[in-house]
A and B are shown apart, each in its own frame.
Chain A
């Protein structure tokens, strides 16, 4: 990151006889890479064709869908399908998704941040054991636990409530959040903590006044990562909710598909509508969203 165009520090014995023939050029790839370019455009086709198909089909009326060429845009585009989806409680499912996402991500970030702070700054057997529990949690396919979770949720009379989705989602977001936040927190110079300590700051104050501002990008990144997972989550809603009142967006796509199976354009309009919020975020804040997606896996 820092040393992209640094000059070689060691004196090179041969001051590049190569430059006699070539003009000094921007380092990187010299000739255009035709094969790579071809592959790149090919993959673009693989990605774009399904997206294109979904969008144009969602604008067709049902008769047009059955008669026109599937890969051509509709002669008379219509928004009726979108109207149908919106009339079928789309706003309610959207709100449910929003409540579950915010309700899971904010508490998860809060407790994970405190845990990461304690693990990085603290000592002792308990904290290292805690850290190992979270690391173990990363390796376990956690959805194998859906049956006991279903059991617990029904026992606690929370079946078919939004809280039933929120509680396990918080728990499942914690290991990866703690791991990434503690990775970033280790980079905060120790001297800063010590000087604040000398000024008489408590750990609680240092956590919010020093550690949080210094790791804010990581907190945002982890927040986005978790939010995407909860927003697009399907398994918990499938097993823990039932009624339309608690339905979230991904599940609504599935039930909508069941109810309107003949009306493919309307089903695809629901896909577009459900993706639209994330697409807007992608357009507005692409960098943050993408760095949130890999959430420090490439750090």
Chain B
């Protein structure tokens, strides 16, 4: 292309100037990655080590930090509330997965089709994505009020329960509100996945006389394998992050019935002023999150990108 000026090098049998050649092999300097890395190290990795360190200390959040050996760990591990928080977290993780996954999958398939009314419905389906967790929680708190909410509004007595005050019901209410907020996001992921399935597969299946249900189970589901893994990973790991919604909706109550692990950590640290114990809970949270992410990654197989291409 630009060979006119490079004739001296040509004569020497070199394509480009030696300096250029070297940078071509080396690529850009690693310094370009340093600002991002520095930020991330300082405000994410360093705190990650900090949470481990603080779990061996005693600190009320204001005064001096004192090394205190394993006493925070002993407190946390002996406290029945910790076990309860783990159980509540596991329950919410499980129930929100089995509620959200099928609904998002079906809605993703539903909205990926070309009918006009479905596109119109999809526009409305995604509205919850615009609301902050605090807004969603406040809206549902009002809506679920037994006196001025949905129940009396529709004249249906069974909807006029004390949803957020009944410790048997409240967990499922939280699961429902989480689903209301997050199903649209996963619907969007599935919609994208379905739209990437080659139409030729459906054409072939139709020629073979496969019905709608058969097409769903024999083409759509297998083709969505990697979308499912992505969505499920985000759902499961994400359920360790349901903090703000539950905090505003129930503050962990009534009693301890919706006190999730992250919420328990926050309340221990910033309300009970026991930062040491809260840090120990933070460490537990990190370990569980990492273990889940690695497990799901393993489940999905290692060579995701290669096999995905093969599938298409």
Q: Which A residues contact B (CB, under 8 angstroms)?
A: 1, 3-6, 8, 16, 18, 27-31, 33, 36-37, 39-41, 43-44, 46-51, 53-54, 57, 65-66, 69-72, 111-112, 114-115, 117-119, 121-124, 126-127, 130, 133-134, 137-152, 167-168, 170-172, 174-175, 178, 194-195, 197-200, 203, 207, 228, 231-235, 238-239, 249-251, 253-254, 257, 264, 267-268, 271, 274-275, 278-279, 282, 286, 290, 293-294, 297-299
Contact = CB atoms under 8 A, between A and B. Distances in A.
Nearest to A28: B114
A234 B46 CA distance: 22
B225 to A, nearest CB: 13
Say whether chain A's binding surface is mostly helix, strand, loop, or mixed.
Answer: helix
Contact of A122 (B29, B285, B286): B29
A53 B150 contact: yes
Interface stretch (B80-88, B165-173, B185-193): B185-193
B212 A143 contact: no
14 contacts: A4-B199, A5-B199, A40-B121, A50-B180, A53-B153, A57-B142, A70-B148, A71-B154, A118-B30, A133-B40, A138-B293, A139-B290, A151-B275, A167-B39
B42 to A, nearest CB: 7
A284 B106 CA distance: 27
Contacts of A112: 36
A18 B289 contact: no
A148 B46 contact: yes
A178 B282 contact: no
**Interface size of B as a range:** 35 or more
Contacts of B207: 16, 18
Given A40-B118, A253-B134, A174 B289 contact: no
Nearest to B305: A183
B304 to A, nearest CB: 12
Contacts, number: 340
A196 B52 CA distance: 48
Contacts of A267: 138, 142
Contacts of B148: 65-66, 70, 264
B76 interface: no
Interface string B138-159: 1111110100111011100000
A275 B127 CA distance: 10
| Nearest 9 CB-CB pairings of A with B | A148-B50, A298-B192, A71-B153, A171-B43, A70-B153, A232-B132, A145-B47, A139-B293, A148-B47
Contacts of A33: 212
Given A111-B39, A122-B30, A137-B40, A147 B275 contact: yes
Given A27-B206, A143-B243, A3 B198 contact: yes
Contact of B289 (A69, A144, A268): A144
A43 B28 contact: no
Contact of A44 (B24, B124, B142, B278): B124
Question: Interface centre among B45, B184, B288, by most A CB within 10 Å?
Answer: B45
Contacts of A5: 199
Nearest to A126: B30
Given A39-B110, A198-B2, A50 B200 contact: no
Nearest to B269: A147
Given A70-B153, A115-B35, A151 B130 contact: no
Given A47-B128, A279-B130, A268 B139 contact: yes
A232 B266 CA distance: 19
Contacts of B54: 147-148, 151
Contacts of B47: 145, 147-149, 152
A66 B145 CA distance: 12
Contacts of B37: 115, 130, 133
Contacts of B139: 50-51, 53-54, 268, 271
Nearest to B190: A298
B130 A278 contact: yes
Contacts of B133: 232, 234, 250
A174 B39 contact: yes
B240 A134 contact: no
Contacts of A257: 138, 141, 248
Contact of B43 (A124, A168, A195): A168
Given A28-B113, A172-B43, A141 B289 contact: yes
A47 B188 CA distance: 15
B70 interface: no
Given A40-B110, A170-B43, A174-B40, A117 B289 contact: no
A250 B136 CA distance: 10
Contacts of A149: 43, 47
B33 A274 contact: no
A171 B40 contact: yes
A254 B243 CA distance: 14
A171 B44 contact: yes
A140 B2 CA distance: 48
A140 B142 contact: no
Given A124-B26, A170-B39, A297-B189, 16 more contacts: A4-B199, A33-B212, A47-B128, A48-B124, A69-B153, A114-B32, A133-B41, A146-B282, A147-B51, A168-B43, A198-B1, A203-B27, A239-B270, A267-B138, A290-B188, A294-B188
Contacts of B290: 139-140
B50 A151 contact: yes
A53 B143 contact: yes
Contacts of B53: 148
Give the residue among B48, B134, B243, B285 with the most A Cβ atoms within 10 A: B134
Contact of A111 (B35, B145, B180, B248): B35
